[in-house]
Amino acid sequence: MAGNTHGTLFKLTTFGESHGKAIGGVIDGCPAGLTLDITAIQNDLDRRKPGQSAIVTQRKEPDEVEFFSGIFEGQTTGTPIGFAIHNTNQKSKDYSHIKDSYRPSHADYVYDEKYGLRDYRGGGRSSARETASRVVAGAIAKQFLAPVTINAYVSAVGTIQLDHDPSKVDLSQIENNPVRCPDAAVATEMENYIKAIRKEGDTVGGIVTCVIKDLPVGLGEPVFDKLHAELGKAMLSINAVKGFEYGSGFAGTQMKGSQHNDLFNTDASTKTNRSGGVQGGISNGMDIYFNVAFKPVATIMQNQETINSKGESVAMQGKGRHDPCVVPRAVPIVEAMAALVLADFKLLKRTNKI
């Protein structure tokens, strides 16, 4: 059973591989009459694209989206929105070393075992290049959700952590540095660390925090499709994600109920927000905030021992153009997946009561 479609009513199906002709998708279920800001869509793609700064992969791709259907005179028509992004800067020979060998902690072995063959060029379908299609659909979902705002930022790179309260972060500062950390001094520290890690031929992980504001009460479908459960699934579907926590998360386990409860104001807002804007799987009108943990990605420019498809031990040296740390580019991907989840719940909410 394939798993290339997200959503129940607001649906995205993606296609394509890293070194194929193009990647793209079909968005089905976006209501008619939405006036689209194409520049805003391209802007989100530019925030994800490779080669955007010295601390990301140097693959140079313009990542320009081309729409084929579902939009007429600037508005959605309610019919499937088909789109593609052409792959223009593949260097497939950089990947000949993984044709018959498996990068440790990448998806090479499991794809081979599961499907019996594999487009190894650039990692094929397992490459995070696929997430550009999610960013296109997410940017449309964001426009459907307005005035709800979704902003993500980098809150940790390795052991360098931003001391932050998501409700107080100055979100206008996020795009002012290549790391996408809203504190300039911490961002510089993170940037220098990523550069040093790249020089070592190594990689480092990090955390992306996301804040959603002005979401009405009532989004989320208990009991299996709770809002936080769907957000968690969406985030965990992003390449290299190892963890998800919302609200007080794991730190909440160290508190007592008397410390942890969010007491009500008379307008039903809460004095604190340890619930992270979700109670019983339903949005409660407070800000939603969550953290997404990304691992240090697998491809390192160092010698490593691995195995080939015959099960023999072989030495492997990473090649090609790779990200030393993916969190700066993951920021718009996290926002996009959050937008897709919320757009779907916005439509589903219309079925809740007479």
Ligand X SMILES: Cc1cc2nc3c(=O)[nH]c(=O)nc-3n(C[C@H](O)[C@H](O)[C@H](O)COP(=O)(O)O)c2cc1C
Does the footprint of ligand X cover residue 329 (CB under 6 A)? yes
* CB of residue 274 to ligand X, shortest distance in Å: 29
* CB of residue 299 to ligand X, shortest distance in Å: 3
Does the footprint of ligand X cover residue 12 (CB under 6 A)? no
Does the footprint of ligand X cover residue 331 (CB under 6 A)? no
Stretch that binds ligand X, among 68-76, 162-170, 175-183, 318-326 (CB under 6 A): 318-326
From candidates 204, 215, 238, 292, binder to ligand X by CB under 6 A: 238
Stretch that binds ligand X, among 11-19, 222-230, 235-243, 275-283 (CB under 6 A): 235-243
Tokens of 174: 């996020």
Applying CB under 6 A, the site for ligand X has a residue count of: 19
Residues 111-140 vs ligand X: string with x where CB under 6 A? Answer: ---------------xxx--x---------
Stretch that binds ligand X, among 11-19, 112-120, 204-212, 326-334 (CB under 6 A): 326-334
* CB of residue 63 to ligand X, shortest distance in Å: 12
By CB under 6 A, the residues from 243 to 282 that bind ligand X are none
Does the footprint of ligand X cover residue 322 (CB under 6 A)? yes
By CB under 6 A, the residues from 168 to 227 that bind ligand X are none
The residues that touch ligand X, with contacts defined as CB under 6 A, are 57, 106-107, 126-128, 131, 238-240, 297-299, 322-323, 326, 329-330, 333
